[in-house]
Amino acid sequence: MTTVLAPVAHLGRMTLAMLASLGRVALFAMLTISHLFRPPFYLKEFAQALMTIGYFSLPVVGMTALFTGGALALQIYAGGARFNAESVVPSIVAIGMTRELGPVLGGLMVAARVASSIAAEIGTMKVTEQIDALVTLSTHPMKYLTVPRVLAATLAVPVLVGVGDIIGIMGGYLVGITRLDFNSATFLRNTIEFLEAWDVGSGLVKGAVFGFVVALMGCYYGMNSERGAQGVGRATKSAVVAASVMILATNYILTELFFTS
């Protein structure tokens, strides 16, 4: 009997462990937010984080958006041709990029790039006792390490998403006029005519949430890294996986909130 039930018991334990870690993450998030508003503030660390998280992610996010926009144009064209609706390509590309693909793919790329590097950096600091050293030097690790990164990501990712939107639409436009025989002026007019401010705005809000999630996961797993190189490796992996899954989950919730009434 016990051997038969073993997988069930295992599943139960996993579920409990997952719920417990969800609770810990929520606590960590609340603690981060509470430290956001209490001095001291570390401006230099914040500026540095803004640079590494925002500015240096531009190429990756830009490339992702460019190719996605291009592929999206091809797909919509092929799909639209089935019921003679090729003319929807520009507006679907614009709406698809700004509402969904810009923020989600941008967020996922930032998760891969930033959550991993934050977790590895903070994890290494943890296992080499640098976090302990910070504490003995009267510096709160949460304020010094977590807050600047989380704040920087929350502010920088929407900007990245905005840039990604523009580049993605440009990708669709380039494919549209070179491969699909669209007239340049018609493509642009269609894009602008059907795009609403909230299409872009909702994507930017999503970007901010995803930025928060990515940096938070990086910091959380880094701070809770186990000992040794293996511990840091595990922390890095968990940070990327958790950040990615949470981006997709929050994306669904936000879409539900924003677009169903």
Partner 1 sequence: MITMKDIHKAFGQNRVLRGVNLVVPKGKSMVIIGGSGTGKSILLKCILGLVNPDSGVITVAGEDVTHTDRDVLLSRFGMLFQGGALFDSLPVWHNVAFRLLRGKAALPRAEARAVAIEKLRRVGLKPDVADLFPAELSGGMQKRVGLARAIAAEPEIIFFDEPTTGLDPIMSGVINDLIREIVVEMGATAMTITHDMTSVRAIADEVAMLHDGIIQWTGPIGDMDASPDPYLQQFIHGRAKGPIEAVR
Q: Smaller CB distance to partner 1: residue 7 or 39? A: 39
Handedness of CA 195, 198, 199, 205 (dihedral sign): positive
Among 2, 3, 84, 138, the residue binding partner 1 under the rule CB under 8 A is 138
Stretch binding partner 1 (CB under 8 A), from 11-19, 74-82, 134-142, 198-206 = 134-142
Query: Rounded distance, CA 254 to CA 206, Å?
Result: 7
Stretch binding partner 1 (CB under 8 A), from 93-101, 137-145, 162-170, 233-241 = 137-145
Query: Rounded distance, CA 55 to CA 162, Å?
Result: 13
Query: Rounded distance, CA 117 to CA 201, Å?
Result: 28
In angstroms, how far is the first alpha carbon of the chain from the final one? 50
Instruction: Confirm if 82 and 135 have CB atoms less than 8 A apart.
Output: no
Contact string (CB under 8 A) for partner 1, positions 17-56, x = contact: -----------------------x----------------
Stretch binding partner 1 (CB under 8 A), from 128-136, 150-158, 169-177, 199-207 = 128-136
> In angstroms, what is the minimal distance from the CB of 165 to partner 1?
33
Stretch binding partner 1 (CB under 8 A), from 21-29, 122-130, 208-216, 252-260 = 122-130
> In angstroms, what is the minimal distance from the CB of 208 to partner 1?
26
> In angstroms, what is the minimal distance from the CB of 35 to partner 1?
14
> In angstroms, what is the minimal distance from the CB of 114 to partner 1?
16
41-61 burial code (b ≥16 CB/10 A, e <16): ebeebbeebbebbbeebeebb
Beta-sheet strands, E only, within the chain: none
Query: Rounded distance, CA 70 to CA 136, Å?
Result: 53
Among 2, 3, 84, 136, the residue binding partner 1 under the rule CB under 8 A is 136
Handedness of CA 180, 185, 188, 190 (dihedral sign): negative
Instruction: Confirm if 123 and 226 have CB atoms less than 8 A apart.
Output: no
Handedness of CA 220, 222, 226, 230 (dihedral sign): positive
Binding of partner 1 by 261 (CB under 8 A): no
Contact string (CB under 8 A) for partner 1, positions 190-229, x = contact: ----------------------------------------
Enumerate binding residues for partner 1 (CB under 8 A): 40, 121, 125, 128-130, 132-139
